[in-house]
Structure 1
Amino acid sequence: MVFSAQIKIPATYYRGGTSKGVFFNLTDLPEAAQVPGVVRDNILLRVLGSPDPYGKQIDGLGNASSSTSKAVILSRSTQAGHDVDYLFGQVSIDKPFVDWSGNCGNLTAAVGAFAIKAGLIDAAKIPQNGHCTVTIWQANIQKTIVAHIPITNGEVQETGDFELDGVTFPAAEVQLEFLDPADDGEDGGSMFPTGNIVDELDVPGVGKFQATMINAGIPTIFVNAEAVGYTGTELQDDINSDAKALAMFETIRAYGAVRMGLINDISEAATRQHTPKVAFIAPAKTYTSSSGKEVKAGDIDLVVRALSMGKLHHAMMGTAAVAIGTAAAIPGTLVNLAAGGGEREAVRFGHPSGTLRVGAQASQENGQWVVKKAIMSRSARIIMDGWVYVPGGVLTA
C-alpha cells in the first residue's frame, strides 16, 4: 500500500490572551484550503490532532482543551476601511468538526501582531515606536475590532509588565476595542433576540429559572448560579469532573440556543458547539483562584463562570467578557443585577483564574439598547514559528 508523504505549511503558534492557537496566512494554505470546505477543515483537524477519542490531541498541536484547540486564518482585508480579515475556527477535540460560528476574543489579541509579522499591514502604518492601530474585520461574526499593538524599534513588542490572570508570565499590553459588539440582525436579530433583558427558561430536568440571553461579543446565556445549584466560585474540577453537571449545562445551552433563534431544534446544538456560551453568575464573593491567590469580594463587582465546548473555562473567553461587560452596562439584566444594579460603564469580575476588567457604554436608541464599543486589554506572544506538517492525505476531500 502506498501512503502519501507529509506536506508542510507555514504557520505560527501563538498565545493570545488565555488561549493558544495556530495562525495561518490564507495564501500560505494549499490552494484547495484557501476556500471554505472539507479540505480546509481536514487540515485544521489534523494540525490540532483531532478527532482524538483519547481526548489528548497527542498527534497534533492541540493541548486537549477548548482554549488550546483553535486555528486562525488571516488575509489582507476585502472590507473598506479595514487592514486584515480574521477567520477563527474552533476545532473539536474528540469529533471531526470545526465550528466557524463565532469569534475567539483571546486570540484576537494576537491578530494584529501576526498581521504585521506576515506583511499584511502597510509599512507606512507601522511607527518606529509607539502603537500600530490595526483595524480587523472579524469574518465569522461580521464585526470590526481595533487592536493597538505596541511597537519598539519598528517591530512588535511582546515582552512587558502587563499581567493577565490565567497567564503565568507578564507581557506587553494589547488594548482591544470591539466596535458595535451586539448582533445587528444575524442569528437572532438584536442584542436581545427574545426582545427581553430577562426571560424564563423551562429546561427539562432542570426546571424553570431566569436567564439573560444576549448577542454581544458572542451569543451568551447568563443564569444565576444559585438557580442551578452553584455559588459562582467554582473552579474547573468542581464542574468538569461532574458528568451530570456538564450534561445539565449542555441541556441549558441547547434550549437557550433555540430561544435565541440560533438553532431550530435542540438536536442541532451538537453541530454548533462553539456558540452560544453558558455562564453562571453571582454577586461578588471572596474565593481562592486556581493559582492559589485570594480574590477578595471588595475587589470585584461579581463572579462569573463560563463553559466553552462543554467544559468550564479555566479563565474567561474574551468574547464572553465582551458579553459580560455589555450586559453589565444595561440596567436590569441578571449580570447588571449581580454587579449591584444601576448604570455602569465598566465591570471587574472574578473568574476561576483571577479577575478581569471590561468596559462598555450602553444607551437606548429608538427604544432599543445599543452598545457602540466594548474595551479590554489582553496580551499575546509568539511561541513558535515555522512550518506545521500534516499527512498529504488531508488534501483529499
Structure 2
Amino acid sequence: MRDYEKIRSAIIRGGTSKGVFILENDLPSDPVTRDRVILSIYGGTDERQIDGLGGADSLTSKLAIVSVSSRPDADIDYTFGQVGIGTGKVDYNSNCGNILSGVGPFAIDEGLVAVQEPYTTVRIFNTNTNGIIEATVPVESGKSQSTGDYTIDGVPGVGAKIVLNFLNASGAKTGKLFPTGKRKEKLLTEAGVFEVSIVDVTAPVAFVHAHQLGLTGTELSTDLTKEHLWMLEKIRSAAAEKLGFVSNAHDATKETPSSPKVIMVSPSQPYSTIHGEIMEREHIHLTARAMSMQKMHKTFPVTGGLCTAAAAKLTGTIVYECCNNPDADEIIIGHPSGSMDFLISFTDDGQHIQFEKTAVARTSRRLMEGYAYVPKELFWNETESIRK
C-alpha cells in the first residue's frame, strides 16, 4: 500500500519568479486540505524547504492554480498563492504578474485553449483580484515557444517575448484607484509618521520616498538594516489596516504578508546593480525598491511595477514627484537587477481616470513536469468529507 498520493504538476519560471503550476482539478476541493497539501509540496514549515519544491526564497515559493474558465470574457482562471516560508500559510491576497507570464504558455501546452499561430492570446481571469489579463504568447506547431531573442533583467539568457496587458486595471483589489481618496497623505505607523501615496493599479501599493527612511533609494538587499526592514513593514502594515485588509496593523504580517505591497521610490540616479553593472540615470525614469514578503525584491514585481509606472503619471503622488519624464508612453523603472519597462496609457477628463493599457513584456520557460508526492494522510479530511 502506497504511503503517498501523486499530484501532477509542472515547475515553470515566469519572469523573474519560479513556481509550481497545478490544475485545479488535481488538488483537493476542501480549502484546508488543499493548503495542507500545497504546503507539503513546498516543504512544509521548514525555512529551508529542503523536503519540498520550494527554493527557500519568496520568489521561488510561488504557486499557480489553473483551470478552464466558465466566464464568457475569459479562457482560463488563475489563482496565485504565495507560499510562506516557515509560516505554514498560503497567502491568496494578491496576484503575481511574473508567475502570470507562465499561465498562458501552461494553458496552451496543457491543451486548455484553442491555439492560433504565430501568436495566441489567452484571456486570463485572476481570481485574486477579479481582473482580466490578456497574455499574447508566441506559438509554433501547436505549442508555446520559450526560445527567442527577448531579454529581461534578472534572468540569464534570452527567451520568447510574452506581452501581458491588464484590462481595467484601476482598483484591481480595492475597487478604487486611490483607495483612501487621497493622492498623498500622512500615515501614522509604529515607526513614526510617513508621507505615502496609496495607489491601486493591478495591485494596491503603498509608496514611500526613500529619504524618509534615511536611504538614497539605490540600496541593495544587503544594505538594508533590520531597522529599515522593520520600518518598511510597519508602513505596509499600517496601510493594510487603513485599507481594511486587517482590523489591526499588528496582524498584517501574519494575515496578509504580501498585500498591500510597499515600494520605496526615489529620482533616477546612477547605481550599481547586484551584478556589479552601473545603471545610468539617463536610462531610467525613476529608481525603486520593492519589498517581497518582508525582504527586498531582487528585481521588481510585475503588478507592483505596473502600479509604480501608473502612479508615475498621476500628478500629486510621491511617484510622480520622482519621475523625470512622466509624460513618456513607456516608463522605465530602475531596480536592484537592472531596469524594467512598462507601457501605460490613460485618459483623464478631470473627474475620471481610465487606463487604456497597462502592459509589460516577460519571458517564461517550463523547467520540468511530473508528479509531486504528498503523504497520503494529508488527504484524510478530504476523504472523510467525501464519505459524508
**TM range, smaller chain:** over 0.9
Identity, % of aligned positions: 35
For 1:187-266, what aligned pairs fall within 5 Å after superposition?
187=174, 189-205=175-191, 207-239=192-224, 242-266=225-249
How far 1:93 sits from its partner (Å)?
Answer: 0.3
Tell me the distance in 2 between the aligned counterparts of 1:226 and 1:153: 52
Q: Unaligned regions of 5+ residues in structure 2, if any? A: 382-388
Shift in alpha-carbon separation, 1:50–1:245, aligned structure 2, 3 A: farther
Match of 1:97 in 2: 89
1:51 paired with 2:45, answer: yes
Output the amino acid matched with 2:178. F
Aligned pairs for 1:136-175 (under 5 A) are: 136-175=124-163
Q: How does 1:211-360 map to 2 (within 5 A)?
A: 211-239=196-224, 242-269=225-252, 270-340=254-324, 342-360=326-344
> Paired residues, what number?
380
Over 3 Å counting, the alpha-carbon distance change for 1:342 and 1:349 in structure 2 is closer
Please, which moves more after superposition, 153-162 or 139-148?
153-162
Q: Deviations over 1:287-327 (max 9, x none)?
A: 11111211111100110000011110000011111111211
Q: Deviations over 1:101-136 (max 9, x none)?
A: 1101001110000001111103xxx12x31001000
Out of 19, 22, 35, the residue aligned to residue 20 of structure 2 is 22
Structure 1 unaligned residues grouped into runs of 5+: none
Task: Show the counterpart of 2:384.
Answer: none
How far does residue 4 in structure 1 lie from its aligned partner after superposition?
7.2
Partner of 2:385: none
Using the alignment, how far apart are the partners of 1:94 and 1:266 within structure 2? 21
- In 2, the alpha carbon distance for the partners of 1:133 and 1:320 equals 23
What's the secondary structure of 2:101's corresponding residue? Answer: helix
The range that moved more, 303-312 or 209-218, is: 209-218
Partner-residue secondary structure (3-state), 2:197: strand
Residue identity in the other structure for 2:202 = G
Equivalent residues of 2:312, 2:326 under 8 A apart: no
What is the match of residue 34 of structure 1?
29
2:63 pairs with 1:71? yes
> Is the partner of 2:187 in helix, strand or coil?
strand
Q: Which residue pairs with 1:85 in the alignment?
A: 77
Would you say 1:115 and 2:107 are equivalent positions?
yes
Q: CA RMSD in A?
A: 1.6
**In structure 1, C-alpha distance between the alignment counterparts of 2:171 and 2:245, rounded to whole Å:** 12
8 Å Cα contact 2:80-2:92 kept in structure 1: yes
Q: CA deviation at 1:154?
A: 2.4
Change (3 A) 1:44 1:365: farther
**SS at 1:87 equivalent:** strand
The residue type equivalent to 1:165 in the other structure is: D
* SS across alignment from 1:285: coil
Mean Cα deviation higher: 244-253 or 348-357: 244-253
- Maintained 8 Å contact 1:149/1:175: yes
The structure-2 alpha-carbon separation of the partners of 1:290 and 1:268, relative to structure 1 and needing over 3 Å to count, comes to: same
Deviation at 1:268, TM superposition (A): 2.6
Q: Verify the 8 A CA contact 2:186 2:196 in the aligned structure 1.
A: yes
1:222-245: CA deviations, max 9, x gaps? Answer: 000001111111112122xx3222
TM-score normalised by L of structure 2: 0.94
The answer (yes or no) to whether the contact 1:193–1:261 under 8 Å persists in 2 is no
Read off the aligned partner of 2:23 and give its amino acid letter.
N
Counterpart residue identity of residue 335, structure 1: V
